[in-house]
């Protein structure tokens, strides 16, 4: 009985650690905005650069962190890489609370890069 309680407590601690890591990662406004944008559709880096009005290296750094955490995946289409969200359960819980980025998506002009 005591062994089961200890295992349950360890599982609870592990889940809390996962949530803490997710919140730390999404605590950055740019990364949270990227996730909200990718909730709408897959995007390439040049579209994210335009949407966030920041540099390509900055977006690439954020994408690396999101990818390393297993929140985004990439798919090569020709010479371009497109990013989309993974089906990570903890991320899905957060996505239900993010405001729509539909208006921001409408402001992205078609770019020649992709």
pLDDT one-digit tens code per residue, 9-25? 666 788 888 888 888 99
**pLDDT averaged over the chain?**
86
Average pLDDT, integer, range 88-100: 80
pLDDT one-digit tens code per residue, 74-85? 999 888 889 999
* Domain range summary for the chain, segments of one domain joined by +: 2-99
More confident call, 22 vs 7? 22
Angle, helix 29-40 to helix 2-26, in steps of 10 degrees: 90
* Cβ neighbour number for residue 66 with a 10 Å cutoff: 23
Q: Has residue 8 got a pLDDT over 80? A: no
Question: Looking at residue 15, what is its pLDDT?
Answer: 82
CA distance 1 to 18: 26
Task: For domain 2-99, say whether CATH 1.10.10.10 is its number.
Answer: yes
Question: Looking at residue 7, what is its pLDDT?
Answer: 67
38-47, 54-63, 92-101: least confident range: 92-101
């Amino acid at each position: 009985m005591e062994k089961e309680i200890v295992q349950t407590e360890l599982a609870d601690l592990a889940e809390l650690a996962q949530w803490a890591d997710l919140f730390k990662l999404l605590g950055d406004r740019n990364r949270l905005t990227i996730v909200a944008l990718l909730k709408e559709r897959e995007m390439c880096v040049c579209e994210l650069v335009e949407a966030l009005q920041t540099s390509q290296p900055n977006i690439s750094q954020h994408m690396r962190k999101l990818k390393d955490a297993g929140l985004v995946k990439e798919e090569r289409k020709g010479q371009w890489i497109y990013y989309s969200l993974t089906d990570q359960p903890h991320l899905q819980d957060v996505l239900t609370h993010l405001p729509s980025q539909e208006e921001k998506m409408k402001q992205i002009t078609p770019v020649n890069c992709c």
